[in-house]
C-alpha cells in the first residue's frame, strides 16, 4: 500500500499532478471539464503580461492624447462661436441692405415729389 502511495506522489508537471488528483477524486467526464477550465485559466494567465504591457502603452497614449482632446474641445467651442457670429453678421448685413434700399426708395420718392412740384410751378397757367 505504501508503494502505491509513492507511485501517486511521483509526477513531473502540474498537469500530471492535476490529472492524477482528478482521476482519484472525480469521474472522467467531470475531471475533463475541470481540466479544460484549468487549462483555459492557465492560458489566460500566460497572456496576462502581454495584456498588462498593452494596458501600460494605452495608458501612456491616453495621457499624450489628453491635450489634443482638450484642444479639440476648445476648437469646437470656438467654431460654434464663429458660426454664431457669422449668422449675426449676415443678419445685420441683410438689415443694413434693407434699410439702405428703404432709404434710397424714400429719397427717390421725395425727389419725385420735388420734381412734380417744380414742374407744376414752372408750368404756365393756362
Q: The C-alpha cell of 10 is what? A: 511521483
Spell out a b/e string for 72-91, using b for 16 or more CB atoms within 10 Å of the CB, else e: eeeeeeeeeeeeeeeeeeee
Question: With contact defined as beta carbons under 8 Å apart, do 34 and 22 qualify?
Answer: yes
pLDDT values of the chain reduced to their tens digit, one per residue, 126 residues: 444 555 556 778 888 887 777 777 777 777 778 778 888 998 888 999 999 999 999 999 999 999 999 999 999 999 999 999 999 999 999 999 999 999 999 999 988 888 777 776 666 655
Contacts 24+ apart (CB under 8 A), 38-47: 39/15
pLDDT of res. 56: 96
Q: What is the model's pTM?
A: 0.45
Amino acid at each position: 500500500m505504501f508503494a502505491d502511495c509513492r507511485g501517486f506522489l511521483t509526477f513531473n508537471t502540474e498537469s500530471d499532478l492535476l490529472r492524477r488528483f482528478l482521476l482519484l477524486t472525480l469521474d472522467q467526464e467531470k475531471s475533463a471539464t475541470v481540466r479544460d477550465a484549468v487549462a483555459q485559466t492557465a492560458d489566460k494567465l500566460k497572456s496576462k503580461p502581454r495584456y498588462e504591457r498593452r494596458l501600460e502603452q494605452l495608458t501612456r497614449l491616453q495621457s499624450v492624447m489628453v491635450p489634443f482632446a482638450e484642444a479639440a474641445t476648445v476648437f469646437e467651442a470656438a467654431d460654434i462661436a464663429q458660426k454664431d457670429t457669422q449668422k449675426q453678421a449676415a443678419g445685420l448685413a441683410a438689415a443694413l441692405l434693407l434699410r439702405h434700399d428703404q432709404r434710397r426708395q424714400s429719397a427717390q420718392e421725395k425727389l419725385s415729389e420735388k420734381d412734380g412740384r417744380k414742374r407744376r410751378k414752372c408750368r404756365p397757367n393756362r
